[in-house]
Amino acid sequence: MKKNYDILVVGSINMDVIVNTDKYPAYGDTVFCNSINMTPGGKGANQAVTAAQLNKKTALIGAVGKDSAGSQLLRNLEVKNVDVSHVLEVETSGTGTFVAMIDVRGENTMVGTKGANDHILRKDIEQIFDQLDAKILLVQMETSKESILAAMQEARKRKMFVILDPAPAEGIFEEAFQYADLILPNKQETKAITGIDVVDQETALQAAIKLKEMGIPQSVVKMAENGSLVYHNDTPTYIEAIKVHAVDTVGAGDCFAGALASSLLETNDLVEAVKFASVAAGIKVSRSGGQDAIPTLQEVLSYHSTC
């Protein structure tokens, strides 16, 4: 018998090394920082934790190495109510690891290795999809190209609603776009896909129209603290970001994606889902930390009801 889920996430599982610093060092410099911490991360894991925190039955398909980091990350996901029974343990590669430097404004710059995330094969995806069903597939671009394509194609066959978070920009490939029902690019990703530099609502709309011309019917162009442009049924709607003091932006986009998918299940209204996701992401960036900073459903609803 197949397992049924609200949201299925196919994506990365990483150990993040978080470096807090007053400012980024100049090229070749050696400087002291304020702190260094290791925390569970990965775009797929972050999105799955968000959906689970928002009371959605969530499964994650991903991969870790057979190492201490992988074991720790799987335990953490289980504690956060994410089904990890479909996560692969890879012998030929270590668990993905990223280093994030965060300055006093909360902005982050990251570098890392995909590790086991890059070792998910098409046959793995096809075998796992035969064992489950879900209403929404949420996928990013931090695992192997063949796993991303296979997941989107299998989801389409099963009439799942497919949400593509095209992050990171370095992982983007156009072949995936034809299988997406909705895309959620930030400014950098939007420029990488469309060539349009998003600086305001007008350029965000130009980019959304270009995305539709590329075969993606719906889009949410994210502009960080400047809000989001929702393009749905050929109609643009601007959603303001909530006003917060940003402390840590690591995982903000992942929180947004997981919250949007969760709300869309409840409301079937993309504009309302983006409003909900904006609140969740806003709460997330106002706190330091990784997955532990992701808000609960009650926290989002309490804030959302006052907006």
Was 105 annotated as part of a binding site?
Answer: no
Residue of 67, 83, 118, 254 marked catalytic = 254
Was 282 annotated as part of a binding site?
Answer: no
Was 15 annotated as part of a binding site?
Answer: yes
Was 43 annotated as part of a binding site?
Answer: yes
Was 250 annotated as part of a binding site?
Answer: yes
DSSP letter string, 120-172? --HHHHHHHHTTEEEEEEEE-SSS-HHHHHHHHHHHHHTT-EEEE---SGGG-
Was 14 annotated as part of a binding site?
Answer: yes
The torsion of the CA quartet 155, 207, 263, 295, rounded to 10 degrees, works out to 110
Was 156 annotated as part of a binding site?
Answer: no
> Is 234 one of the annotated active-site residues of the chain?
no
Long-range contacts of 264-271 (CB under 8 A, 24+ apart): 264/136, 264/161, 265/6, 265/7, 265/56, 265/135, 265/136, 270/182, 270/218, 270/220, 270/230, 270/232, 271/230, 271/232, 271/237, 271/239
Cis peptide before 168 (omega within 30 of 0): yes
Was 146 annotated as part of a binding site?
Answer: no
Was 253 annotated as part of a binding site?
Answer: yes
- Catalytic positions, written as ranges: 254
Please give the annotated binding residues, written as ranges. 14-16, 42-46, 142, 186, 248, 250, 253-254, 284, 287, 289
Please give the annotated binding residues for ATP, written as ranges. 186, 253-254
Please give the annotated binding residues for substrate, written as ranges. 14-16, 42-46, 142, 254
Please give the annotated binding residues for K(+), written as ranges. 248, 250, 284, 287, 289
